[in-house]
Amino acid sequence: MSILAVIPARYASTRFPGKPLALLGGKSIVGRVWTALAGMDFIDEAIVATDDERILNHINQMAGYPAAMMTATTHHSGTDRCGEVLQRLEQQGEHYDIVINVQGDEPFVSEEQLRTLARCFNDYDTDIATLCTPIATAEELLSPNNVKVVRGNAGQALYFSRQPIPYRRGVDQEHWLEGMTYYKHVGIYAFRAETLKMVCQLPSAELEDCEKLEQLRWLSAGYRITVETTDHANIGIDTPEDLAAAERWLKQVQDRLQF
């Protein structure tokens, strides 16, 4: 099973312009992501997909070979950017069975997480795979910034929402975490290559437009999304404040290792 990892990275960002090239522990955020994925022996190729020459040049200079690709500025999502990379590599005669999408602002993604995603495709019914992690606090549960997921008995996604789901009838909301496990979606995806090409052609769906969650387009179209659990705590970076928090966390980890 050949695996392509694509790292979408846009320079423009409303909340954090230039975020991919911002430094974390002396290294660029996107450079950290690429270095991590390129070092995983089960991934056949890792490519940064960008719309900005600064990111393109940075990654290619860092890698010492073409490890980044310029993609269209008209894409609406990282998924579309991944689809373009796959299409262009196939036109060059390359073949991949699985495409993993890791956003360029996820510098702490772990190898175990990505191996877990890859194993999902041993089940031929899996079209798309993603991850979730148990929610520990009421603040996490109630925040619309944390996407929640409900799974079926076979681990398949039933629904994703910004609202806390499932609704516990007859139970005060402050007690919802008692005796019930809620799951937060971890936004890393893997696709069968053929599935990725097809979902990139789908029109937007009503549920997607309502919740502003791209994965609802795929569910609405009938694709099976397998959702596995992870205990690894990712720290996504959306704002300069997030970067400062990640810097503090990284320093704490480095201090413990030195001790």
Enumerate domains of the chain plus CATH numbers: 3-124+186-258 (3.90.550.10)
Residue of higher predicted confidence among 238 and 141:
141
Measured distance CA(47)–CA(139) in Å, rounded: 36
pTM: 0.93
Q: Are 86 and 193 in contact (CB under 8 A)?
A: yes
pLDDT, tens only, 84-106: 999 999 999 999 999 999 999 99
pLDDT, tens only, 25-47: 999 999 999 999 999 999 999 99
Measured distance CA(121)–CA(99) in Å, rounded: 11
pLDDT, tens only, 158-214: 999 999 999 999 999 999 999 999 999 999 999 999 999 999 999 999 999 999 999
Q: Give the β-pairing of 128-134 and 98-101.
A: unpaired
Q: Are 21 and 65 in contact (CB under 8 A)?
A: no
pLDDT on residue 254: 67
What average pLDDT does the segment 238-254 reach?
85
Three-state DSSP at 94 gives coil
Burial of 241 (0-12, 13-18, 19+ CB in 10 A): exposed
Name the DSSP class of 129: E
- Assign 252 a pLDDT band (cuts: 50, 70, 90): confident
Give percent above pLDDT 90 in the chain: 84
Rounded to 10°, the helix 53-63/29-38 angle is 40
What average pLDDT does the segment 12-24 reach?
89
pLDDT above 60 (res 257): no
Contacts 24+ apart (CB under 8 A), 151-156: 151/183, 151/227, 155/226, 155/227, 155/228, 156/224, 156/225, 156/226, 156/227
Task: List the one residue out of 224, 145, 151, 157 whose CA is nearest residue 192.
Answer: 224
- The continuous run of DSSP H or E covering 197 comes out as helix 193-199
What average pLDDT does the segment 94-122 reach?
95
- Assign 236 a pLDDT band (cuts: 50, 70, 90): confident
- Assign 256 a pLDDT band (cuts: 50, 70, 90): low
